[in-house]
Amino acid sequence: MNATTTEAVLAETEEPQAADLFAKFEPLIQERDNLLAAGVRDPFAIVMDEVKSPTEAVIDGKDTILLGTYNYMGMTFDPDVIAAGQEALEKFGSGTTGSRVLNGTYQGHKACEEALQEFYGMDHAMVFSTGYQANLGIVSTLAGRGDYVILDADSHASIYDGCFLGNADIVRFRHNNVENLEKRLAKLPPEAGKLVVLEGVYSMLGDIAPLDEMVPIAKKYGAMVLVDEAHSMGFFGEHGRGVAEAQGVLDQVDFIIGTFSKSVGTVGGFCVSNHPKTDFLRLVCRPYTFTASLPPSVVATATTSIRKLMHAGNKRAHLWENSKRLHQGLRDLGFKLATDEPESAILAVLLPDQEKAVRMWQALLEHGLYVNMARPPATPVGVYLLRCSLCAEHTAEQVEQILGMFEAAGKATGAIS
Amino acid sequence: MTDRATTFASVKDLIEPFNAKGVELDESTTFAGDLEWDSLTVMDFVASIEDEFDIVITMNQQAEIETVGQLVDAVEELK
């Protein structure tokens, strides 16, 4: 047997090479490597060395104004909130080590659920370990085989993942398009169970949903309605209950989903409802049942914060002032924003491509301002943006400082002339 | 033209705005492989198909559709 024949035999008998599981990520890996090779910092690898207040931190040794957190109501350093957490840590220890349905329900979890019931004026509340898990659990548990989930195309990943975890048929409608929602609902079998999933504030563009039109349409077709108010809790509506309250349709919403990691200022998720069977979900909702409950200090801080948010009218008013001033100021400088008017505490500054967005993001950081850079798939196709999230604790002076930084960075990078 | 041929022609027209690489379209053209569409493009395109034909294609049904021909068959069935 000559050498060539041996190689041929070997090639025939060799085990087939398994596919590289990372190969599918190669285009993204390349894109990221190219970006970093161009000398910019990684926008997704920011480390806060020190956090001085809800609006200030030290990043890479530099004092920085925070305009990219979800700390809308600035509760993270509230003295009462911190004291409640410290007391719970002392009295109940550092963690529960177990699930809510076994050893993981402490007095603090019940107190937190009572605070949520009062906050929303609803009969039932379930606390989850994160907002992500609240959506994952409720969407996947409510809608089963033969049912339909009808969701906005721009829905948060946790809602999509809830759909993938369940067995229902999933139907999307165009973002915030009332007519499109109705067309889809009209095409579905009238007798099938239906869950329409909406969000109060859409986090990437900072736009709000026309819930006053959408919720009645969902009801007309016999659907249950779930509204995710993650980015609106504390800020919208007379009692801070969200966009559904502000638009007068809260009483028609079956389930409100929310989070503690934004306005409440800690971590966790929840579902509130007037549905009489809500509590049964505790036994059948996998992301609730099969995970550890929140540590006592976390539910204690959440409870105190939620109770304080019931009376935060002044903070709400100041946050609206900040949002209006920053929106107008950025437009006057020549920036393009995702919404014509300020609709929420989120203002999205649109940039033409990833490179411009990253350069602008880095220039702002060098001036001492942190914002979020976002790109697809977190944003719609072709949309690159810098997301600014205001806090009720930003002072009027800080807002002017922020505008000065945007002007300097915008001119330096050519984003504005 | 048969009904199916008419549907095929309409589907081709709807693909064009998303056909960034100018791929020649036939029955066996695949959305992920040949057209190299990502999930966001698919989402936009499916919405335009649903609006054009006044049908609903669930995400579950979409997962089964890989080629232009399969999409045309699905549209024919759902119409």
Question: Which of A41-50, A84-93, A201-210 comes out lowest in average pLDDT?
Answer: A41-50
C-alpha distance from B60 to closest chain A C-alpha (Å)? 6
Place of tokens 């105190």: A304
Tens digits of residue pLDDT in A64-86: 999 999 999 999 999 999 999 99
CA A183 to the chain's CA centroid: 28
pLDDT band at A12; cut points 50, 70, 90: low
C-alpha distance from B40 to closest chain A C-alpha (Å)? 6
Show residues of chain B in contact with A195, CB under 8 Å. Answer: none
- Whether residue B54 lies within 8 A of chain A, CB to CB, comes out as yes
Q: Closest to A170 (Cβ–Cβ): which among B38, B55, B59? A: B59
Show residues of chain A in contact with B37, CB under 8 Å. Answer: none
CA A410 to the chain's CA centroid: 27
pLDDT of A63 > 60? The answer is yes
Instruction: Give the Cα separation of A128 and A148 in Å (integer).
Output: 24
Tens digits of residue pLDDT in A177-216: 999 999 999 999 999 999 999 999 999 999 999 999 999 9
* pLDDT attached to residue A89: 98
Q: Number of helices (H) and strands (E), helices first, in chain A?
A: 15, 15
Question: Does B40 sit within 8 Å of A380, measured CB to CB?
Answer: yes
* pLDDT attached to residue A1: 47
pLDDT of A13 > 70? The answer is no
CA B63, B69, B71, B76 dihedral sign is negative
Q: Closest to B56 (Cβ–Cβ): which among A188, A376, A381? A: A188
Tens digits of residue pLDDT in A303-332: 999 999 999 999 999 999 999 999 999 999
Residue of B nearest to A180 (CA): B51
CA-CA distances (angstroms) from residue A383 to A35, A43, A225, A370? 17, 16, 29, 20
Instruction: Give the Cα separation of A175 and A201 in Å (integer).
Output: 12
pLDDT of A39 > 90? The answer is no
Please say if A367 is a catalytic residue. Answer: no
Instruction: Give the Cα separation of A312 and A306 in Å (integer).
Output: 10
Q: Given A109, A262, A318, A394, which residue is catalytic?
A: A262
pLDDT of A96 > 70? The answer is yes
Long-range contacts (CB closer than 8 Å, 24 or more residues apart) made by A316-321 = A316/A234, A316/A235, A316/A240, A316/A392, A318/A392, A319/A72, A319/A73, A319/A235, A319/A345, A319/A390, A319/A391, A319/A392, A321/A396
* pLDDT attached to residue A404: 98
- Whether residue B43 lies within 8 A of chain A, CB to CB, comes out as yes
Q: How many CB atoms lie within 10 A of CB B64?
A: 8
Question: Which of A12-21, A29-38, A241-250, B26-35 comes out lowest in average pLDDT?
Answer: A12-21
C-alpha distance from B19 to closest chain A C-alpha (Å)? 14
SS (H, E, C) chain B: CCHHHHHHHHHHHHHHHHCCCCCCCCCCCECCCCCCCCHHHHHHHHHHHHHHHCCCCCHHHHCCCCEHHHHHHHHHHHC
CA A36 to the chain's CA centroid: 27
* pLDDT attached to residue A376: 86
Average pLDDT, chain A: 95
Beta strand A169-173 with A194-199 is unpaired
A48 neighbors A56 (Cβ within 8 angstroms): no
- Counted residue by residue, chain A has a size of 417
Give me the residues of A, 166-185, that contact B with CB < 8 A: 169-174, 180, 183-184
Instruction: Report H helices in A270-353.
Output: 281-284, 286-289, 296-309, 313-333
Over residues A359-380, mean pLDDT: 93
Radius of gyration for the alpha carbons in chain B, expressed in angstroms and rounded? 11
Please say if A239 is a catalytic residue. Answer: no
**Which pair of tokens denotes residue A266?**
């800690």
Selected residue of A149, A170, A176 to mutate for chain B interface (largest B Cβ count, 10 A): A170
CA-CA distances (angstroms) from residue A364 to A160, A392, A410? 33, 21, 9
| A272: helix, strand or coil | strand
Question: Does B41 sit within 8 Å of A171, measured CB to CB?
Answer: no
**Which pair of tokens denotes residue A280?**
């049964």
C-alpha distance from A205 to closest chain B C-alpha (Å)? 16
- Whether residue A163 lies within 8 A of chain B, CB to CB, comes out as yes
Question: Does A376 sit within 8 Å of B59, measured CB to CB?
Answer: no
Question: Does B54 sit within 8 Å of A180, measured CB to CB?
Answer: no
Q: Given A129, A140, A155, A203, which residue is catalytic?
A: A203
Question: Does A377 sit within 8 Å of B50, measured CB to CB?
Answer: no
Please say if A156 is a catalytic residue. Answer: no
A293 neighbors A130 (Cβ within 8 angstroms): no
* pLDDT attached to residue A44: 86
Examine the predicted complex and report whether its ipTM is higher than 0.85: yes
C-alpha distance from B12 to closest chain A C-alpha (Å)? 21
Which are the contacts of A328, defined by CB distance < 8 A and separation ≥ 6?
none
DSSP-assigned beta bridge partners for residue A386:
A349, A373
Q: Which of A370, A404, A411, A408 lies closest to A390 in space, CA to CA?
A: A370
Question: Terminal CA-to-CA distance of chain B, rounded, Å?
Answer: 17
Which are the contacts of B28, defined by CB distance < 8 A and separation ≥ 6?
B67, B68, B69
pTM, two decimal places: 0.93
Show residues of chain A in contact with B43, CB under 8 Å. Answer: 153, 172
Which are the contacts of A199, defined by CB distance < 8 A and separation ≥ 6?
A152, A155, A156, A159, A209, A227, A228, A229, A230, A231
**Which pair of tokens denotes residue A32?**
């990221």
Question: Does B47 sit within 8 Å of A376, measured CB to CB?
Answer: no
